Structure 1
């Protein structure tokens, strides 16, 4: 139970005072578990600009802010981790030794249920509410030596991939022009190109097009402008000659870089531009002081190629006794269970991917036909 010297206050994330932001940053700095940029107040504030239900619960001990839980709440009291579906790290960010009563926390937030899907492993008070844990691959980056060429670094870091990747890069340079990589591209014209490529990829593969949602477009455009110590929006681009080949946008903190949206020119897919992008980013991020590249939850072949180890993240529902909480769990758990079953079994995942790609092809063809008819 929390003591009489404890309290919980609720705030809009974009309205946090400078003092509270600094306290949040100190909590991030105190533990490597919270160094991920998705756990920074800048990310929560960005979501808060475009999501009316965004809030932050601040835990106080002896009048000192010691913990921060960013979340979103709807009118029925259903809560979810802030940016659920977009964020690759979720947590109540707190100072060492701080704990909490989950029932009291939910009550203070006005929540009957709190849903999460990328909860960092350290969050013990939420432990009994975790319904499953999943691998989140990471790359441990070494200190970059500025004198090493990219080719030398690649042969040392990924000898199995080096020959094939360098061959494709040389072929791309011969076909289109000299290869050039910009880790922190400030030309704003590159960001709409990335979004256009990514939208096309979502449609081809039958996935939900995130960039069809205006608030996500607005959020990414906003985060691209954020350049703070604990959160910087990084846009990276691979060029061949003057032509952009692949692009990526994602956040970084001082020590952690989180790949987020990667896409490439589909006409150039046979050169493996997405893999080239991730390898180039890994080298550049290491040279720029990043120590961990968090690839996020999900089974992808390229993640298995690049990872050095895995973290564990949890999904589940923290609940209070309430009819809304029970209804939400009954609705969401079967959907999650089916998705996780498919993702965990390659024999099911591959047919599901083929089905989604077929749907995407039909959807794209239908859209072209409608356009011609119009």
Structure 2
């Protein structure tokens, strides 16, 4: 199936595996790329040395195109851009809108720039700055999310920009891909569906928690970092919501210290990143401090397997997923379903003329 997305990045299928922190490492990205979709490494939870090593590991395992996801507001964003350019990565995606200068630097090096957005005005901005495509996530998507459903947001963005639009939020099968194409998208991006594959590094016990969840078990909370965050509802999440501000801030400081040691960042670098985050999101300092919760709480579940003391970011689509295929099986299934649906769509016969 050829679309503007497959032509732009050189993959066989119009499917993107999103850059999920602690999840989208070399193992998952390689499996996705080998299946013919676009795998994206999540770099926000990696040091720069770990990022370079991860890129080289993927390149040693596959010749297929893949991408790297960056935080545009990170203090070392330019250093990470340099790694992408030096290592010949095909695609750079961004969790936040990158600056005009970062986009130009990447495009000058031949890197395809694909920011993720959650509003039409943000899509218009990055398109005007030269982005090659845009991922549009509706409110059904996991992690930080907005309030507008994909079915409303997607056509808005398709009508507003003249670059390929990739639909995210609520997709897991061939029906969703066909629906996205009908709205005018060039493909779909899926996070939770790729998290729930046999190639995902997430511990089996945590995957089991996802598979057991119903649609109603996926909630949006501000208790983790002060921003709307979609995740599985657990007793731990409920305890975060019950916690007072002082207790929450104390926990945030502890987690910030843990992430600093893990990431190799200095306190001054983390402070600069916090200033950038506060400016970009219009956050209070309390919310910036709470944001330090996220990497370590995600790591507790996604890496350490401690679902009872971590958080599990999730799209609503987790409530309709019931198996753990390999990436090859998943991509093959999605494309098979999509082809069958498209083949079954026949032209509607003309309506008879109305009687006089």
Q: Same fold (TM over 0.5)?
A: no
Normalised by the length of structure 2, the TM-score is: 0.27
Q: Say which structure is richer in strand.
A: 1
TM-score after normalising by structure 1: 0.26
Larger Rg: 1
